[in-house]
Amino acid sequence: MTGLRILLGAVILGGLGAAAPFTPLWLISLVTLAMSTGLVVCGLIILWRGGLVPFGQALFFATGAYTVALSGRWFGLTDAFLLIGLAVIMAALVAFVVGFLLAQYREIFFAMLSLALSMILYGVLVKSETLGSTDGINVTQASFFGLKPRGPGYTFALFWLALGMVFTAWVGVSAYLGSVAGQLAGAIRDNEIRVEYLGISVTRLVHLKLTISAALAGAGGALAALSISHVDPQMAYWTTSGGFVFVTILAGAASVPAAFLGALLFEIVRTIAVALLPGGWQLILGSVLLLTILFVPEGLGSLMIRKRAAVTEKGAA
Amino acid sequence: MQGTSIRACLARKVSAALLFTALPIAAVAQTTPAAPAVPPVKLGIVTFLTGPAAGPFGIPGRNSAEIMIEMLNAGKVPAPYATPGLAGAPILPKFVDEAGSSANQVTEFRNLVQRDGMNAVVGYISSGNCLAVAPVAEELKALTVFWDCGTPRIFEEKPLKYVFRATPHATMDNVAAARYVLKKFPDLASFSGINQNYAWGQDSWRDFVAAMKALAPKATVDKELLPKLFAGEFGAEISALLTTNSKVVHSSFWNGDLESFIVQNGARGLPARSTMVYTAGETAMFRLGAKIPDGTIIGARGPHGVMAPDTPLNKWFRGVYEDRFATSPTYPAYHMAQSILGLKSAWDKAAAAKGGQQPSIDEVVKAFEGLEFEGPSAKIRMAIGNGHQGIADIAYGSFRFNKAEGKAEIVDIVRYPAECVNPPANMTSTAWLEAGMPGAKCN
Amino acid sequence: MITVIAIVTDGLVYAAWLFVVAIGLTLIFGVMKILNVAHGAFYAFGAYAAATAIGLYFDRGWPVVGGYLAIATAAIAIGLVMGYILERVFLRRVYGRDEVVVVLITYALFLILEDVLILIWGTDGRSAYQPYTEAGSFTVGGLPLSVYDIGLVGFAGLLAIASSLAIKRTTFGRLLTAVIYDRETAAAFGVNVTRVYTVTFLVGAVLGALGGALTAPKISVTPGLGVEVIVLAFAVVAIGGMGSMEGALVGALIVGLFRAGAVHLIPQLELFSIYAVMALVLVFRPQGLFSRAQPRKI
């Protein structure tokens, strides 16, 4: 990743941030929420490139979200940066621990075991009556370095925070995908044994990927908790994980920005579907997914890349 | 270029979406007499249109909202609601599906208020969604009336300004159930409970046990079963209940699980050994009819449905509802009707204080606080939660299947006054139950 | 003593139900390597079709015995129709694609079918209790049991035997085994793999629908019914070993007995029981209890 592209990304995100005060508030909230999904999908891309698809990423998402809610409730912590930092650490920690087990598995078994683990967290949360069981608990409004914006100011502050997180994730994940460890993902997907013959421990590599992706999911969960102001066990349910995989398919694993665009598109399609057909929005959502898989198999990100490739070719000619 | 065309395309899509949703509303609006001077009040209505809660709660709620809004706009509701619309302004409803995560609900709530410019929202069946939406409603200063969710936590955790709930909370259901059980079985030695393993089931059971402890300290708990929500298959639980000597089994099951449970326990003779108490049983009783054994104790989350008194308002409500939908209104329909009537009362009161002009939202909020108004089935007093939470009487009764007429009936109805089954304004429901329900006035 | 009887019978009844639901899923996975999320939709459609069929049948006042035939007919009919449409129109286009992509196709189909269900049958619950209640009950050791439930256990047992015989003794079963072991080699020996796939998917769909249809008389058939079943069936299949029939049977028995034990002895654990068993089994036997070791391909 070149300095130029980083600069370009910073300019685009900065432009979005500057445009916020001129954008309707509902749209800003919607984009913020979509970015929280985008962060999770970023993590899924890392795993996906290695041929791993977890059906239980909601485990880390919910860990992040509940970390934010409980830090506020039990310890009175309100600083958004601190909360997000804690959520990332907790999610990564959980992934590090379960990783010793999960990293041994591949394919559908990896998917199923991660699903089982997230459903166990769901069960624990439902059982916790002091945490409101399925009703969940409210998240206290965050502060930003001692500032406590309220009303629309809070919506803007969260949006800018989200942009900052997206930028960090984008630079970080792109750097990782470009590194040797990141590049090995494709090799793991194609043939693990050959990678082992290179003298590299595939299990350790998968463990690392899992931890990174969990940190991103934790960040996404934290952002979602702050922007919804409420957390509930549904965040750990398998349908939540299904939603993340859905967006990953929509976006494709080809590029990191596609994760965020895919998440945004998903949120927009869902909200339009709800408005269009209040009693049948799942039908629209399912059809979009189906058509994407059938006709744009590599995800929407691949369209962008194809286009770029075409432009480069033309330039070369 | 690419960017602008995508945005233009999106804008087209969004406006198309708005257009489509506006169509049915326009159709409703046309049937009402034109009142050109007053701009309409836009009312967002959120209820389950899909998923397991749609059939028993969501759709009766939507039907009730549809007919109430139509009749209010036409000025056809009996006194004291005979004036058209909300202080003369016609109501323009927009229906939204409650299915989906609470994140979706918060997003759609913002969309309703900030994008679609709703003046007020009447919504939410799930307590989780109510809890999630409440802080956002405060943030947006959006007048919101919760119409069916039951958790007492809404106003007990922190005071709210823009949120109201005319429907009493669920503590009442279980306190009244305990009182009714002890009236039928004064020497009850032990009881059991089977409730779904999620917030509603856990809270209902906890409140019931606490009320029993206060009223009959000697009665013990035999089995405490909390099967998974929507489990559908209760064979093991029924066996567990069959192995106890409980005279009474408490259950807050609703619809699908409730009906499955009734059929399965009936087939295995559980009702012959224990009397069942279904705190939300009313939604199922017409569908199951003779499948429910006589003597089963049935609640309706208020004095609704067949337990409602024979007032002109109630007669009218049942009449128009049955004419339109060819089925009797169950308690969710009553909850919706009383929520909309509460909103109308507050609106009209605020307008009256202003000499008939349309009030601002803050003025409606002020008028709503501590308001008393007539619902189809009971007088509602916004007496607790700083004047934001309604209390009302509740009734319990015993099921009987009238073989001669082939009709499900409720007999031995006992009506409990609001103060008998609700905590006072200065106490949370848990604290009140744990203290042994001090200050309860039952006569 | 009564508790022991209760645990065993409840466990068996639950296991029978799980087995009927899971066997179609494991069959499709074993042969086609498709983790079929739409199985939940087969289940739900089967339940609705059976409820409708039972309603129509008993409205005519016909004898009770035929009601059971009505259930089976409805399930087979709807399973065949749905299986055929899904396989022909959608799945056939993606054979050979990444397993996960195919899972997502079935996930998308599931989302769509959930709403189609509401479009066809509406949001109100359906009930068709006659076959269940008419079957009556009997008492064992002081514990009343439902004849229908015990009948289900018998049916599941017959299904297990029949499927085992079908695989070991019939020509198609042998072809199936060949495809399960090595699709490419089977194809090279002239097995019409596409045809095997179609038949397998149809059989799987019918079994899924049958699971729903047999449950319909016991429950109120409501929207959202399929969601709960998918994860349960997955868990059973993962415990037993993906694609293994014996595995599905043993997985169902383990989960059923474990759950019944939890309900009677430690009800607090009921919610976790299935996932805890699944995680535990996967820790020690990653491929499930009855799965063959995969050869390493370099």
The full DSSP string for A201-248 is -HHHHHHHHHHHHHHHHHHHHHHHHHHHSEE-GGGGSHHHHHHHHHHH
Segment B57-69 shows an average pLDDT of: 94
Q: Which range among B170-174, C80-84, C244-248 shows the weakest confidence by mean pLDDT?
A: C244-248
pLDDT single digits (tens) B192-204: 999 988 888 988 9
Does any domain span residue B439? no
Indicate the helix (H) or strand (E) that contains C185.
helix C183-188
pLDDT confidence of residue B162:
96
pLDDT confidence of residue C190:
86
pLDDT single digits (tens) B376-425: 998 999 999 999 999 999 999 999 999 898 888 999 999 999 999 999 98
Residues C90 and C106: their CA atoms lie apart, in Å, by 9
Segment C264-285 shows an average pLDDT of: 80
Q: How confident is the model at residue A302 (pLDDT cuts 50, 70, 90)?
A: low
Which residue of B10, B101, B127 is the best one to mutate when testing the A interface, meaning the one whose CB has the most A CBs within 10 A? B101
Q: How confident is the model at residue B434 (pLDDT cuts 50, 70, 90)?
A: very high
Q: Which of B339, B320, B298 is nearest to B180 (CA)?
A: B298
Q: Of A33, A126, A235, which has the smallest distance from its Cβ to B107's Cβ?
A: A33
> Quick one: B159 and B177 in the same domain?
no
**Is B20 within 8 Å of chain A by CB?**
yes
pLDDT confidence of residue A1:
57
CB within 8 Å of chain C, chain A residues 131-190: none
**Is C94 within 8 Å of chain A by CB?**
yes
Chain A positions touching B106 (Cβ under 8 A) are 228-230
For residue C225, what are the contacts with CB-CB under 8 A and spacing of at least 6? B52, B230, B232, B256, C43, C44, C47, C212, C219
Q: How confident is the model at residue C294 (pLDDT cuts 50, 70, 90)?
A: low
Q: How many domains does chain B have?
A: 2
Q: What domains can be seen in chain C, in order of their start residue?
A: 2-284 (1.10.3470)
Does any domain span residue B1? no
Segment C250-257 shows an average pLDDT of: 92
Chain A positions touching C103 (Cβ under 8 A) are 108, 111
pLDDT above 50: residue A77:
yes
> Quick one: B330 and B263 in the same domain?
no
| C-alpha distances out from residue A298 to A191, A217, A241, A264, Å | 20, 22, 20, 18
The full DSSP string for C220-289 is -B-TTHHHHHHHHHHHHHHHH-TT-HHHHHHHHHHHHHHHHHHHHH-GGGHHHHHHHHHHHHHHH-TT-T
Domain that residue B414 falls in? 171-300+393-434
Assess contact for A79 and A143: CB atoms under 8 A: yes
pLDDT single digits (tens) B138-162: 999 999 999 999 888 889 888 899 9
DSSP, collapsed to helix, strand or coil, labels residue A3 as helix
pLDDT single digits (tens) A248-291: 888 887 788 888 988 998 888 888 888 887 777 788 888 888 88
Segment C41-64 shows an average pLDDT of: 90
Q: List chains touching B (3+ CB pairs under 8 A).
A: A, C
C104 to A249: CB separation less than 8 angstroms, yes or no: yes
pLDDT confidence of residue B45:
96
Measured at the alpha carbon of residue A153, what is the angle toward residues A152 and A157, in degrees to the nearest 5? 120
> Quick one: B149 and B248 in the same domain?
no
> Quick one: B244 and B362 in the same domain?
no
Backbone angles phi, psi at B147, to 5 degrees: -110, -20
pLDDT confidence of residue C295:
54
pLDDT confidence of residue A315:
47
> Quick one: B293 and B313 in the same domain?
no
A276 to B17: CB separation less than 8 angstroms, yes or no: yes
Chain A positions touching B108 (Cβ under 8 A) are 271, 274
pLDDT single digits (tens) B322-342: 999 988 898 999 999 999 999
pLDDT single digits (tens) B12-43: 334 444 334 443 444 444 444 444 568 999 99
Of chain A, the percentage scoring pLDDT greater than 90 comes to 32
| C-alpha distances out from residue B245 to A247, A255, A279, B191, C263, Å | 53, 64, 46, 8, 17
Of chain B, the percentage scoring pLDDT greater than 70 comes to 92
Does any domain span residue B2? no
Average pLDDT, chain B: 88
Kindly report the nearest CA distance between residue A118 and chain C, in angstroms: 9
C234 to A120: CB separation less than 8 angstroms, yes or no: no
**Is A223 within 8 Å of chain B by CB?**
no
Does any domain span residue B230? yes
Chain A positions touching C271 (Cβ under 8 A) are 123, 126-127
Q: Which range among A102-116, B207-221, B389-403, C184-198 shows the weakest confidence by mean pLDDT?
A: A102-116
pLDDT single digits (tens) C68-77: 889 999 999 9
pLDDT confidence of residue A105:
82
Instruction: Give the residue ranges of DSSP H helices in B141-191.
Output: 153-157, 171-184
Assess contact for A260 and A166: CB atoms under 8 A: yes
Does any domain span residue B279? yes
Q: Which residues pair with B396 in a beta bridge?
A: B299, B414
pLDDT single digits (tens) C121-131: 887 788 888 88
Q: Which residues pair with B165 in a beta bridge?
A: B146, B389
Q: Which two tokens stand for residue C256?
A: 């059923």
Residue carrying the six token digits 């078994």: A109
Q: Of C136, C223, C264, which has the smallest distance from its Cβ to B52's Cβ?
A: C223
> Quick one: B347 and B268 in the same domain?
no
Segment A303-312 shows an average pLDDT of: 58
> Quick one: B264 and B296 in the same domain?
yes
Q: Which of A248, A278, A279, A280 is nearest to A265 (CA)?
A: A248
CATH number for the domain harbouring residue B148 = 3.40.50.2300
ipTM above 0.90, yes or no: no
A276 to B21: CB separation less than 8 angstroms, yes or no: yes
Q: Which of B365, B114, B158 is nearest to A155 (CA)?
A: B114
pLDDT confidence of residue A310:
56
Kindly report the nearest CA distance between residue C102 and chain B, in angstroms: 24
pLDDT confidence of residue A316:
46
Does any domain span residue B442? no
